[in-house]
Structure 1
Amino acid sequence: MNGPMIITLSVLAVASVLFMSGKVRSDLVAIGVLMVLMLTDILSPAEALSGFSNSVVIMMIGLFVVGGGIFQTGLAKMASGKLLKLGGGSETRLLIMIMLVTSLIGGFVSNTGTVAVMLPIVVSLAYSAEINPGRLLMPLAFASSLGGMLTLIGTPPNLVIQETLINAGYERLSFFAFLPIGLVCLATGILAILFLRRYLPSNEEGRTGNQGGRSLRELAKQYRLTQNLYRIQVGADSSIRSKTLRELDIPARFEINIIEIRRKMSAKNQFFKTINQEIAGPGTVIEEEDILYVNGPFERASEFAETYGLVMLDQGVPEHRKRAEESQYATSDVGIAEVMLTPSSRLIGRLVKHSGFREKYRVNILGIQRKEQYLLHHLKEEKMRFGDALLVQGTWKDIALLAAEQTDVVVVGQPAEESRKLTMDHKAPIAAGIMLLMVILLVTEWIPAVASVMIAAVLMVVFGCVRNMEEAYKTVNWESIVLIGGMIPMSIAIEKTGAATLISDMLVHSLGSYGSLALLAGVYFTTSLLTLFISNTACAVLFAPIALSAAIQMGASPYPFLFAVSIGASMCFASPFSTPPNALVMSAGRYKFSHYVKVGLPLQLVIGLVMMAVLPLFFPF
């Protein structure tokens, strides 16, 4: 072995140990690898930094943004929620349906994001069906990885082996090249889980409590908001048209609050599906056909409607929407939060009407919790006391400003986090259209794959499926991006120094005499073992050039060997820390390490054995 090869293999060994230990962030390890290879002159600066301009890295950034749009518009949640209802109350039907739905979503967006969206839905379904969530959550995590094998963009290792093949001069893979193998993986996984589920938790061990403040739904329910929320529409003959809320002074005259105004975006859309949602402020001008969301006693709301010739929608004209509920108090722009008065608050002893909440913070007070009492009416004349909890509504931006004010009030919970949980449901059809366009472009290959993904990502931002560019950047898992960009040069170094040839020689000499199938098994199970300790992406980046070199030495087609690398790197179930989805469900499912060994290890082995049988059928040697 020459000096550069020894350095490269030493760096690889140290990096692998650090990846396995988990004590150093994986992206920091990747950057360290890159720097060592550059400082030792094994790679030139251009080669060392080439990973960050690699099409795989750019595609991954775009896919994260597209996935963010799918999640933020509620498209994934709506689709999965509707499909999962078909599962009914049977544990077997639910388990199969959960795995099918999760894998379908996982074929197009990141497995971590898929599990994050599906987890609360599955827990809710489990409790409704009186099933321990632990019976369903591990299959959910495993299905997200199985789904990654259905499409070219389903998981990073798929893109890694595509890049390896293209760089070696072989034909690129089509968008659905993985589909036959992926379907076999999925069918095997579902059947295996049906047998292995006996090892999953069977006894209910209690539910996890909500920490850090009540959720928006809980707040709305606790303060009985829906019992005091009415929709009133402005007609053509109404005398309040073209007037501002300041002029009308409705709270003083009728003791009700107009908390939101819904307005059509265009005359062409006769349904209230695509609407502007804005907090009703003093300067808001009332227009014809506006729908006013009014909070207060029914008698006063009716009196207000009668006085100005308005229509009570909940008793008359339909809005083509379901009746007002908790969600009307919180949208992607507007939210509710609970506020506590501090012991030294200057608001203690003041009347609500003199508190200046609306003028100073631009928020409405919807209710007051005083000990066990909930005060919802005639709030203007209420004197605020220490210990009161106030339910306020305003834009998320104004609630965030209120949260920064710690002198007089303290906002309970994390309103910024709650605002991110809310989805822009009216944008879901747009997100679906953009995703469909991306898939069509990827399948037809009219333009390069990286361009297709980036177009879809840009459209998600332009059409507001991702709230803004800042949110678009937040959807990207930068640790994964830096890890991929930093480790791609390692594969260059492995090839450049001859280390790939050396390792592949060892594999060929030790297993090649037993035939191509034995070598294929060696590549697959070595990759499968290593992926227990390092990320699937890093594993694929390291093994792809080795598998390619071994196949060429054997005079065999590289396709089955590279598919073995991708599948072996992705099918990792035997450890809770080997993939983010496995780790995500551990707490919610109340799993122990032994659960992953009893269920995940046999599943990983079974899929490996099945792949050894079917890979040569789909991709002959």
Structure 2
Amino acid sequence: MIFGMSLEMGLTFLVLAVTILLFVTEILRVDVVAVLVILILAWTGLVSPAQALSGLASNAVVSMAAIMILGRGMERAGVVHKISRAVLRIAGSDERRLIGITSWVVGLISSFMQNVGSVALFLPAVLRISKSTRTPASRLLMPMGFAAILGGTLSMVGSSPLIILNDLLRQGGEEPFGIFSVTPIGVILLGSGIGYFMIFGHRLLPKKFGPGADFSSQEDLIETWRLPAIVSYYFVSWKSDLVDKAREDIRLRRNYGITLLAIVEGKEVTYSPWRRTRFAPGQELALLGEPEDVERFAAEHDLWKITDEARFCDLLSQAEAGFAEVVVRPRAPIVGKTPREISIRKNYGVEPIILLSGTQEEKKEFDDRPLNPGDTFVIHGLWDRIRKIGSNRNFVLLTPVEAGSLDRSKAIPATLCFLGAIALSLAGVQLSIALLSGALAMVLLKVISIDEAYEAVDWRTIVLLAGLIPLGIAMEETGAASAIALALIDHLQGGPTIVVLLAVAALATLLSLTISNVAATVLLVPLAMIMAKDLAIDPRALALLVGVSASNSFILPTHQVNALLMAPGGYTNADYLRAGGVMTVIFIFVAALMIYLFYM
């Protein structure tokens, strides 16, 4: 025994301290630290080899991998696109409104759905919104993830600790809580968390777009070719002289130096309209060019500027379309022909912006210029069409395509697979089995291929979770967790009620970070109920505080939701310590105060 601790308990505390130190200092990547923890625990005998590797087959890890696959399927099927457009119509591109709306929606859904499931549903949508509005993903994902965790406190079935709490109350001879007994506390916690990010998020959150959202190639193109980057939207009035005229009659590029990217008519969008496309009243035009040139064109042709551009945010965003460079291949069949003769807009669905032939750069009039081998086009269009032009025998695509193609015909089966998986979990099927069934169904229904399924899994996150689970097992089996709880409870005897509440909330928070939140609840609730009776406090109130505070997992990426968002948001441990540290303190004070006000 060392300082009243067994050797195994002392070693466990040492491993825990080293793990936290490595997380905080980031000397090693988090997944490398996780593997190191697995091996240390196994080599020291703190857990058996089977327990050390049990994380790889755990419910949490399998659920995480399955959720990533389901999210990829929803993205590929275009379901995410519809969700993101609906959010953009309401919130526009304002960062605070985006944080508020996505966080409230995800938080409310999490009151009845596993929080990791609600995050999985909105993660691809928020990433697409990030691209559409050029808002860093890191400014949106952490608030959404924290809201999902907080949303679990809105009902007694919103999180695993609260679900098991009623069973522990029955075992202790106490009356269980009703399903909405915790709702007033949960609403204030969720509102506090969302308000915290809406007010201080711009100071605390990093500016990172995350993987898959690198705009550098687009920015390089715009800078290198001196391309206009502003798209303006105008309405064709009934008295405009454009009505019934063809596009080629207007000579937009020669007369005004602007480009018509798309025409919106009702719910139909025509990208890169053909030269013989005619204008009609009620059409909405997406015009690329310098603002003064566009305004001059609009004034001369009686066009009305569309000031509410929120609904157009996703129309020509870099998530959907962009610039690309293509080169005419040597001996291509189009050599010697003009862009007009090959009908580049009609046949390829892209808008030519610039033609570079030799050293001569043409920006205004090149429709009738014969093409030579090696001529370079700068084009604008949907990524799907740009990808197709790259596989054409006439061209070589020089720009990497920045977005995956959508197959909207798979929207219904993808949605059914996702909702079916959630329904199975709500019906009592183990979460990992339910989600894995949905993921496999997506592969079998060809929503995504098996190769895409493997690519969807972020293995760094999987390894991180797999390494932390055996550490929790060691904390329980060596008695380290119990020792912490008993030591603190002994020191609280006779203290002021509010101090006791704050200490219990802090202890539940600490244990939920080191062992599972369910294990922390099971360990602390019986002890808290005994202590409450000694201090003449309502045992149910103190037990509820433990169940609520077991969800206070913000300071490290140990919670499934935080781990899931770490890679897409480009977050580091320091980001969670900075933003999550403040959120943790807010949670402890709000939870303790609400229990004091409602139950004391």
Normalised by the length of structure 2, the TM-score is 0.60
Contact 1:34 1:48 in 2 (8 A): yes
Q: Secondary structure at the match of 1:458?
A: helix
Residue 63 to residue 166, structure 1, CA distance change in 2 (3 Å): farther
Match in the other structure for 2:550: 566
Which whole-Å CA distance do the structure 2 matches of 1:500 and 1:397 have between them? 55
1:53-64 mapped onto 2 (5 Å cutoff): 53-64=57-68
Which whole-Å CA distance do the structure 2 matches of 1:401 and 1:471 have between them? 21
Contact 1:142 1:582 in 2 (8 A): no
User: Which AA in structure 2 matches 1:373?
Assistant: K
Contact 1:33 1:490 in 2 (8 A): yes
Which whole-Å CA distance do the structure 2 matches of 1:544 and 1:50 have between them? 17
Corresponding residue pairs, total = 481
Counterpart of 1:14 (choices 18, 24, 49) is 18
Shift of 1:15: 0.8
Residue 45 to residue 164, structure 1, CA distance change in 2 (3 Å): farther
Match in the other structure for 1:411: 398
Say yes or no: does 1:473 pair with 2:460: no
Contact 1:368 1:391 in 2 (8 A): yes
Which whole-Å CA distance do the structure 2 matches of 1:209 and 1:54 have between them? 33
Counterpart of 1:609 (choices 580, 589, 592) is 589
Which whole-Å CA distance do the structure 2 matches of 1:89 and 1:39 have between them? 52
Residue 616 to residue 139, structure 1, CA distance change in 2 (3 Å): farther
User: Which AA in structure 2 matches 1:471?
Assistant: E
Q: Secondary structure at the match of 2:442?
A: helix
Which whole-Å CA distance do the structure 2 matches of 1:329 and 1:216 have between them? 16
Counterpart of 2:442 (choices 438, 445, 460) is 460
Which whole-Å CA distance do the structure 1 matches of 2:493 and 2:517 have between them? 17
Which whole-Å CA distance do the structure 2 matches of 1:104 and 1:73 have between them? 25
Residue 52 to residue 192, structure 1, CA distance change in 2 (3 Å): closer
Residue 469 to residue 137, structure 1, CA distance change in 2 (3 Å): closer
Say yes or no: does 1:298 pair with 2:280: no
Match in the other structure for 2:324: 338
User: Which AA in structure 2 matches 1:146?
Assistant: A
Which whole-Å CA distance do the structure 1 matches of 2:47 and 2:417 have between them? 40
Contact 1:185 1:607 in 2 (8 A): yes
Contact 1:508 1:550 in 2 (8 A): no
Shift of 1:45: 1.2
Say yes or no: does 1:118 pair with 2:126: yes
Contact 2:78 2:408 in 1 (8 A): yes
Shift of 1:541: 2.8
Contact 1:147 1:182 in 2 (8 A): no
Shift of 1:66: 2.2
Match in the other structure for 1:28: 32
Say yes or no: does 1:496 pair with 2:483: no
Aligned-pair identity in percent equals 20
User: Which AA in structure 2 matches 1:609?
Assistant: F
Contact 2:143 2:194 in 1 (8 A): no
Contact 1:504 1:546 in 2 (8 A): no
Q: Secondary structure at the match of 1:212?
A: helix
User: Which AA in structure 2 matches 1:121?
Assistant: I
Which whole-Å CA distance do the structure 1 matches of 2:23 and 2:171 have between them? 31
Which whole-Å CA distance do the structure 2 matches of 1:33 and 1:90 have between them? 42
Which whole-Å CA distance do the structure 2 matches of 1:181 and 1:471 have between them? 42
Which whole-Å CA distance do the structure 2 matches of 1:433 and 1:215 have between them? 41
Instruction: Summarize deviations over 1:441-490 as a string: whole Å, max 9, x none.
Output: 22232x3333222222222333344x222222233232222122221111
Q: Secondary structure at the match of 1:338?
A: strand
Say yes or no: does 1:442 pair with 2:425: yes
1:107-506 mapped onto 2 (5 Å cutoff): 107=115, 109=117, 111=119, 114=122, 117-118=125-126, 121=129, 138=139, 141-151=142-152, 158=159, 182-190=186-194, 196=199, 210-213=215-218, 297-298=275-276, 338-341=324-327, 346=330, 351=335, 367=352, 369-370=354-355, 371-373=361-363, 377=367, 381-385=370-374, 388-389=377-378, 411-412=398-399, 414-415=400-401, 418-420=402-404, 422-445=405-428, 447-465=429-447, 467-506=448-487
1:590-601 mapped onto 2 (5 Å cutoff): none
Which whole-Å CA distance do the structure 1 matches of 2:459 and 2:499 have between them? 38
Instruction: Summarize deviations over 1:302-328 as a string: whole Å, max 9, x none.
Output: xxxxxxxxxxxxxxxxxxxxxxx9999
Shift of 1:439: 3.0
Instruction: Summarize deviations over 1:308-349 as a string: whole Å, max 9, x none.
Output: xxxxxxxxxxxxxxxxx99999999x999733559xx85699
Contact 1:65 1:457 in 2 (8 A): yes
Shift of 1:517: 6.8
Residue 519 to residue 456, structure 1, CA distance change in 2 (3 Å): farther
Which whole-Å CA distance do the structure 1 matches of 2:178 and 2:422 have between them? 12
Shift of 1:20: 1.0
Contact 2:485 2:524 in 1 (8 A): yes
Q: Which runs of 5+ in 2 are unaligned?
A: 232-266, 279-311, 356-360, 531-539
Instruction: Summarize deviations over 1:359-389 as a string: whole Å, max 9, x none.
Output: xxxx96964732242677568x522455554
Shift of 1:585: 7.5
Contact 1:520 1:560 in 2 (8 A): no
Contact 2:472 2:516 in 1 (8 A): yes
Counterpart of 1:539 (choices 510, 513, 516) is 513
Shift of 1:73: 3.0
Which whole-Å CA distance do the structure 1 matches of 2:159 and 2:379 have between them? 52
User: Which AA in structure 1 matches 2:216?
Assistant: Q
Instruction: Summarize deviations over 1:486-522 as a string: whole Å, max 9, x none.
Output: 2111122122222122212212222254388755532
User: Which AA in structure 1 matches 2:372?
Assistant: K
Normalised by the length of structure 1, the TM-score is 0.58
Which whole-Å CA distance do the structure 2 matches of 1:160 and 1:51 have between them? 20
Q: Which runs of 5+ in 1 are unaligned?
A: 128-132, 225-271, 274-291, 301-324, 532-537
Q: Secondary structure at the match of 1:568?
A: coil
Contact 2:508 2:546 in 1 (8 A): no
User: Which AA in structure 2 matches 1:411?
Assistant: L
Which whole-Å CA distance do the structure 2 matches of 1:161 and 1:481 have between them? 26
Q: Secondary structure at the match of 1:514?
A: coil
Which whole-Å CA distance do the structure 2 matches of 1:91 and 1:365 have between them? 33
Shift of 1:37: 1.3
Instruction: Summarize deviations over 1:414-455 as a string: whole Å, max 9, x none.
Output: 21xx232x444443343333333233322232x333322222
Which whole-Å CA distance do the structure 1 matches of 2:380 and 2:592 have between them? 61
User: Which AA in structure 2 matches 1:144?
Assistant: G
Which whole-Å CA distance do the structure 2 matches of 1:161 and 1:139 have between them? 27
